[in-house]
Structure 1
Amino acid sequence: MKRWFRQRVDAAYEKVLSREVSGAPTHVAVIQDGNRRYARRKGGDAPDGHRAGAETTEDVLNWCQDIGVEELTLYAFSTENFDRPDEENEALFDLLETKLHEFADADRVHENEVGIRAIGEIEMLPERVQDAVDYAERRTRDYDQFVLNIALAYGGRSRLLEATRGVASEVESGSLEPDEIDVETIEERLYDQPVRDVDLIIRPGGEERTSNFLPWHANGNEAAVFFCTPYWPEFSKTDFLRGIRTYESREESWRRTRARRAIALLGAISDPELAEAQSVVDRFRDSLPTAEQPDPEELEADGSQVDGVDSGSRVAD
Structure 2
Amino acid sequence: MDLKNEINNDNLPQHIAIIMDGNGRWAKKQGMLRAFGHENGTKSVQTTVESCAKIGIKNLTLYAFSTENWNRPKIEVDTLMKLLISSLKKELNTLMKNDIRLNTIGNIEKLPSSAQKQLLEVINKTKDNTRMTLTLALSYGSREELISAVKKITSKVKNNIISIDAIDEAIINEHLYTQNLPDVDLLIRTSGEHRISNFLLWQIAYAELYFTEVLWPDFTEQHLYEAIISYQKRERRFGKTSEQIK
SS in 2 for 1:207: coil
Paired residues of 2:53 and 2:131 also in contact (CA < 8 A): no
SS in 1 for 2:191: coil
Is 1:39 aligned to 2:35, yes or no? no
CA-to-aligned-CA distance 1:190-235 (integer Å, 9 cap, x gap):
127511110001111110111121111111xx10111011110011
Is 1:111 aligned to 2:86, yes or no? no
Is 1:138 aligned to 2:130, yes or no? no
Paired residues of 2:100 and 2:126 also in contact (CA < 8 A): yes
Amino acid at match of 2:68: E
Is 1:195 aligned to 2:171, yes or no? no
Q: Which has the larger radius of gyration?
A: 1
Residue 26 (structure 1) aligns with: 14
1:81-230 maps to which residues of 2 (within 5 A)?
81-104=69-92, 106=93, 108-191=94-177, 194-219=180-205, 222-230=206-214
CA-to-aligned-CA distance 1:130-165 (integer Å, 9 cap, x gap):
111111111111223210000000001110110011
Paired residues of 1:27 and 1:199 also in contact (CA < 8 A): yes
Change in Cα spacing, 1:184 to 1:144, as seen in structure 2 (3 Å) is farther
1:270-285 maps to which residues of 2 (within 5 A)?
285=246
Is 1:242 aligned to 2:230, yes or no? no
Cα distance between partner residues in 2 of 1:169 and 1:195: 24
Paired residues of 1:29 and 1:202 also in contact (CA < 8 A): yes
Paired residues of 2:173 and 2:179 also in contact (CA < 8 A): no
Paired residues of 1:224 and 1:246 also in contact (CA < 8 A): no
CA-to-aligned-CA distance 1:222-254 (integer Å, 9 cap, x gap):
10111011110011222211110121122x353
SS in 1 for 2:26: helix
Residue 231 (structure 1) aligns with: 215
Identity of aligned residues (%): 35
Amino acid at match of 1:42: Q
Cα distance between partner residues in 2 of 1:129 and 1:207: 29
Q: Which runs of 5+ in 1 are unaligned?
A: 1-11, 263-283, 286-317
Residue 54 (structure 1) aligns with: 42
Cα distance between partner residues in 2 of 1:254 and 1:19: 26
Q: TM-score, normalised by structure 1?
A: 0.73
Amino acid at match of 1:186: I
Change in Cα spacing, 1:193 to 1:180, as seen in structure 2 (3 Å) is closer
CA-to-aligned-CA distance 1:100-144 (integer Å, 9 cap, x gap):
12222x1x4223321101110001111111111111111111223
Cα distance between partner residues in 2 of 1:151 and 1:136: 15
Amino acid at match of 1:18: K
Amino acid at match of 1:69: I
Residue 254 (structure 1) aligns with: 237
Deviating beyond 6 angstroms after TM superposition, the runs of 4 or more aligned structure 1 residues are: none
Q: TM-score, normalised by structure 2?
A: 0.93
Structure 1 or 2: more helix by fraction = 1
Cα distance between partner residues in 2 of 1:65 and 1:141: 16
SS in 2 for 1:217: coil
Paired residues of 2:101 and 2:128 also in contact (CA < 8 A): yes
Cα distance between partner residues in 2 of 1:170 and 1:253: 36
CA-to-aligned-CA distance 1:60-92 (integer Å, 9 cap, x gap):
011111221111000000010001110111011
Paired residues of 2:50 and 2:98 also in contact (CA < 8 A): no
Cα distance between partner residues in 1 of 2:229 and 2:69: 31
Change in Cα spacing, 1:53 to 1:223, as seen in structure 2 (3 Å) is same
Change in Cα spacing, 1:210 to 1:74, as seen in structure 2 (3 Å) is same
Is 1:73 aligned to 2:61, yes or no? yes
Shift of 1:185: 1.3
CA RMSD of aligned residues (A): 1.8
